[in-house]
Amino acid sequence: MKGLNIEIYADGAVVSDMVAAKNQGIVTGFTTNPTLMKRAGITDYVAFAKETLSEVDGAPISFEVFADDFQTMKLEAEKIAKLGSNVFVKIPITNTKGESSVPLIKSLSEENISINVTAILTIEQVKEVLEAFKPGTENIVSVFAGRVADTGVDPTKLMKESVRLVAEKGNAKLLWASSREVLNIIQADQLGVDIITVTSPILNKLDMLGMDAKELSLDTVIGFNKDIKDLGFSIL
């Protein structure tokens, strides 16, 4: 976007929404996850992935493994990676038992697979992941800033330190995940974060970016008035 250095990725699993996001000319990449796929009613993972890849024109896109044991995760990751050279394999930082995925990440990185490590919420996890990547490989470190904020904690300190570590290591891009509002894009950009993922509702608000407050006030009242007319009744 004009005036911003950060890359904006669309987060979703509805192919038509992805196409619409691409056509806006703002989005430079895409991410998906099992929760979004469930909401979208996806029933065939590979068919969905292939359809999506045919629509994103070579833009980077992340597909997540589904398994919870590391042996199966590895097999899934290797299959996903073969779908395209623009594919990043999403690996959660732990399995459901709380066991670290770092050994698996290191093994996959040695195979030159591009990895997007997801569900990161601590600086210690950032450090561990960066050490696991093979030099010269392309990777993404997804820190869930929005979920940190959901706990009542300001995530900017975590993201600022993550920016420093990622820049120092030079083997990955930092991604601000679980964004909640347009303001997060500005915050992430000011901190020097490389990428932010946004859902369709946030993308649809981007035309409000930089909007004059007085103009926005009038626009809000006009919206209220339209809803009043749609209700079709009066108080008096």
Instruction: Compute the distance between CA of residue 175 and CA of residue 9 in angstroms, rounded to an integer.
Output: 9
* Burial per residue of 51-60, b for 16 or more beta-carbon CB atoms within 10 angstroms, e otherwise: ebbeebeebb
| 77 closest CA partner among 44, 49, 56 | 49
Contacts of 122 (CB under 8 A, 6+ apart): 158
Which among 88, 95, 163 has a CA at the least distance from the CA of 130?
Answer: 163
Candidates 29, 23, 25; CA nearest to 10 is 29
Out of 22, 74, 90, 173, pick the active-site residue: 90
Measured CA to CA, the distance from residue 141 to residue 115 in angstroms comes to: 8
90 is catalytic: yes
**What are the phi and psi torsion angles at 64 (to 5°)?**
-100, 145
* Catalytic residue ranges: 90
